[in-house]
Structures are given as structure tokens and as C-alpha cells.
């Protein structure tokens, strides 16, 4: 009787996981492989099943716009991840020390994360508007030579996106690190107080190294955001001025739909995925291994 029950239970379990299997194999794995296949063809508006080898990739890497977008993403990624980690860490340290108002202040730093990228991009587009935003406001205060027109400046437009997205994501890093700090033995804080060790020293030399896992998780999530950067660019600069803030995802989307060159777009997508995997794999592997080791 029990044996039959177990069998039927297992069968039902397998059945229940069919949607997950479908999604994983068809939607994730299958779609990625299909994209790869298209990138090896000469498809334009519709998929064509010929085989042109790596021609699309060659075209991709001689495309100015694509190369520029890759460079932009690298610059953006570096600045974004570094700024979020540092600001998030500093906020976590300050909040951890502030016992009374820490709880309320935490919510202030995390609320931007609840906003969509579109809303974030739009509000910062407004704030950084040269004629009506911060530049104008400061000029009205008397600093008539003040310049903050990065939004329309070719050399600085990318940084405006950094500002907007760092504002949105720093709270996330802070939350992850605070959760990690809560897992630290309470006596360590007390021992440091008895030893008269100043808080910043303790955080730098003892606490931060102990937070290696939350830091890795936060970095992983941030890197995911970097690879997927799209909405904020669309909302803030549409990739402009010119191609100053062009990013790979926008390139891909434009070529998938607007410019009707799906093979080129798929090649771009494949390159993006590979780069993302190469950068993130070490982190993913380290996290998987450390979670299997007993704490």
C-alpha cells in the first residue's frame, strides 16, 4: 500500500515539474540555442535556414555602433557596480551603527528599488534637464556659470545613466549587506567595544571580509542588471546624444524590430550572453561551492 502511494506520489511530482522542465528546456535553453542558430544565418526580417558561418559576427564587430555600445557597457558596468557596492556598504555601516532611527532610514534608501527603471529614468531625465533641472536651479541661486548638462553632452551622457541607476540600486546592496551583518556573531561587536576598536576599523578589517558571501551575491545581482540595462536608457537618453549612451541591449532590440536584421541582432545577443556568462560564472561557481560547504 505504501509502495503504491510512493510511486503515485513520485509520478505526480514528475508531472508537477513538467512546466518547469518545459520552461527550462524550451524557453531558456532552446531559445538561446535557436538564437545562436539564427546568428549563423543570413536572416533579415524573417528567419532563413541557410548557414553563413561567422559572417554576422564579423559584421557585428566592424559595426561602429556595436563596438561603441560594448565600450559603453564596460564603462557603465565598472562605474555602476563600484559605486553601488561602495555607497551600499557605507550606508549599511551607518545604518548598523544608528540603532534608533536605523529602521526608518533603511526604508528611505530602499524605496527607489521599488520604482520601475522607466520611472527612474524619466525622473532623472527631468532632474538633469539643463534648462529646467538642477543646472538651472543652481544658476538661479546665483552661480550663473554652473554647468551640469551631462544629459546632452556626448562625453558625459553615459554618466547620467550611472547616476540614475546607482540611485536606484544602492539600497539593494545596503539591504543585502545589512542582512549579512545580522548573521554575524553579536559578541564580535561587543569584543571590539571592549578592545576600544573604532567602528570603521572593525568594519574594514573584520566585518567586510566576513561579508564575502553577501558581497558576492550583491555583485552578481548588480552584474545581471548591467547586462540587462535597457529600460533606463530608453527612458533617459534613448541612447543619445548620437550613440553616446548606446548599449548592447538597445542595439539588439533596434535590429530585431526596427532595422529588421534579426541575424545580426541574434549575433549581438549571443555575444552579450557569452560575455555575461564569462564574467558571472566565477561568481556563480564560488557561491554554489561556498553554500555547499558547512558554515
Partner 1 sequence: MSGAGGERPSVPRRWYTDPARLGLLALLLSAALCFLLPLYVMSLTSFKSMEEIRNTSLFALPPQLSFAAWQAAWSSACTGVACNGISAGFWNSVLIVIPSTLIAVGLGALNGYALAFWRLRGAGVLFAVLMIGAFLPIQVMMLPLVRLLAPLHLVGTLTGIIIVHVIFSMPVMTLIFRNYYAALPRELFLAARLDGAGFLYAFLRLMLPMSLPMLAVAAIMQATGVWNDYLLGLVFAGREHLPMTVQLNNLVNTTTGTREYNVDMAATLLTALVPLLIYALAGRWFVRGIAAGSLKA
Partner 2 sequence: MTALTVEQLSVQLGGRRVIERLDLQVESGEFLVLLGASGCGKSTLLHTVAGLQAPHAGRVLIDGVDRTWSDPGERNVGMVFQSYALYPTLSVEGNLGFGLRARGVARGEVRERVRRVAQLLQLDALLERKPAQLSGGQRQRVAIGRALVREAGLLLLDEPLSNLDAGLRATLRRELKLLHQRLGATMIHVTHDQVEALTLATRLAVMQDGRIRQLGTPDEVYRRPANRFVAGFIGSPAMNFIEGKIARVGAALQLCATGLRVDLPAQLFSAALPLDGESLVLGLRPEQIHLASAAGVSSGQGASDGRGANIGAGRVTLIEPLGSHEVVWIELECGTVAALNHQGQRYHCGDGVSLAADLETVSLFDATTGERR
CB 205, min distance to partner 2, A: 7
Pairwise CA distance, residues 247 & 240, whole Å: 10
Q: Which of residues 139-178 bind partner 2 (CB under 8 A)?
A: none
Residue 264 contact, options partner 1, partner 2, none, Cβ 5-8 Å cut-off depending on partner type? none
Which of partner 2, partner 1, none sits in contact with 133, Cβ below 5 to 8 A by type?
partner 1
Min dist. Cβ of residue 151 to partner 2 (A):
43
Nearer to partner 2, 55 or 192 (CB): 192
Least distance in angstroms from the C-beta of 208 to partner 2: 9
Residue 132 half-sphere exposure, CB side, CA atoms within 13 Å? 4
Out of 51, 61, 143, 205, point to the residue binding partner 2 (CB under 8 A): 205
Among 55, 105, 206, 216, binds partner 2 (CB under 8 A): 206
Q: Which does 260 bind (CB under 5 to 8 A by kind): partner 2, partner 1, none?
A: none
Q: How many angstroms separate the Cα of 264 from the Cα of each of 54, 80, 92, 155? A: 11, 28, 43, 27
Place of cell 554647468: 147
Partner that binds at residue 152, options partner 1, partner 2, none, CB closer than 5 to 8 Å by kind: none
Whether omega for the bond prior to residue 241 falls within 30 degrees of 0, making it cis, is yes
Measured distance CA(69)–CA(67) in Å, rounded: 5
Residue 253 binding partner per list partner 2, partner 1, none, with a CB distance cut-off of 5 to 8 Å that depends on partner kind:
partner 1
Query: Using CB under 8 A, which of the segments 78-86, 143-151, 195-203, 241-249 binds partner 2?
Result: 195-203
- Residues that bind partner 2 (rule: CB under 8 A) add up to a total of 16
Q: Which of 19, 53, 142, 209 is close enough to bind partner 2 by CB under 8 A?
A: 209
Q: Does 191 interact with partner 2 (rule: CB under 8 A)?
A: yes
Beta carbon of residue 42, minimum distance to partner 1 (angstroms, whole number): 15
Among residues 48, 52, 197, 286, which is the contact residue for partner 2, using CB under 8 A?
A: 197
The entry of partner 1, partner 2, none that residue 72 binds, CB within 5 to 8 Å by partner kind:
none
Please report whether residue 190 would count as binding partner 2 according to CB under 8 A: yes
Which residues would be at the binding site for partner 2 (CB under 8 A)? Answer: 185, 187-188, 190-191, 193-198, 201, 205-206, 209-210
Amino acid at each position: 500500500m505504501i509502495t503504491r502511494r510512493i510511486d503515485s506520489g513520485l509520478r505526480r511530482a514528475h508531472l508537477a515539474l513538467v512546466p518547469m522542465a518545459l520552461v527550462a528546456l524550451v524557453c531558456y535553453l532552446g531559445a538561446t540555442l535557436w538564437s545562436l542558430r539564427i546568428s549563423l544565418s543570413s536572416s533579415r526580417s524573417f528567419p532563413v535556414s541557410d548557414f553563413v558561418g561567422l559572417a554576422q559576427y564579423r559584421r557585428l564587430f566592424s559595426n561602429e555602433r556595436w563596438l561603441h555600445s560594448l565600450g559603453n557597457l564596460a564603462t557603465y558596468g565598472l562605474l555602476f557596480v563600484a559605486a553601488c557596492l561602495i555607497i551600499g556598504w557605507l550606508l549599511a555601516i551607518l545604518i548598523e551603527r544608528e540603532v534608533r532611527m536605523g529602521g526608518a532610514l533603511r526604508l528611505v534608501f530602499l524605496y527607489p528599488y521599488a520604482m520601475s527603471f522607466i520611472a527612474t529614468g524619466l525622473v532623472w531625465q527631468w532632474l538633469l534637464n539643463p534648462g529646467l533641472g538642477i543646472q538651472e536651479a543652481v544658476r538661479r541661486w546665483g552661480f550663473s556659470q554652473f554647468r551640469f548638462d551631462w544629459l546632452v553632452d556626448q562625453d558625459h551622457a553615459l554618466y547620467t545613466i550611472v547616476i540614475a541607476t546607482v540611485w536606484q540600486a544602492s539600497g539593494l546592496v545596503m539591504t543585502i549587506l545589512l542582512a549579512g551583518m545580522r548573521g554575524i556573531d553579536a559578541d564580535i561587536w561587543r569584543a571590539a567595544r571592549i578592545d576600544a576598536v573604532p567602528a570603521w576599523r572593525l568594519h574594514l578589517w573584520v566585518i567586510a571580509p566576513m561579508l564575502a558571501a553577501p558581497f558576492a551575491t550583491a555583485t552578481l545581482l548588480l552584474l545581471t542588471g548591467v547586462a540587462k540595462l535597457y529600460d533606463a536608457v530608453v527612458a533617459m537618453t534613448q541612447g543619445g546624444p548620437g550613440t553616446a549612451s548606446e548599449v548592447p541591449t538597445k542595439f539588439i532590440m533596434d535590429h530585431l524590430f526596427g532595422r529588421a536584421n534579426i541575424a545580426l541582432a541574434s549575433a549581438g545577443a549571443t555575444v552579450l550572453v557569452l560575455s555575461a556568462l564569462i564574467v558571472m560564472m566565477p561568481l556563480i561557481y564560488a557561491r554554489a561551492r561556498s553554500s555547499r560547504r558547512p558554515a
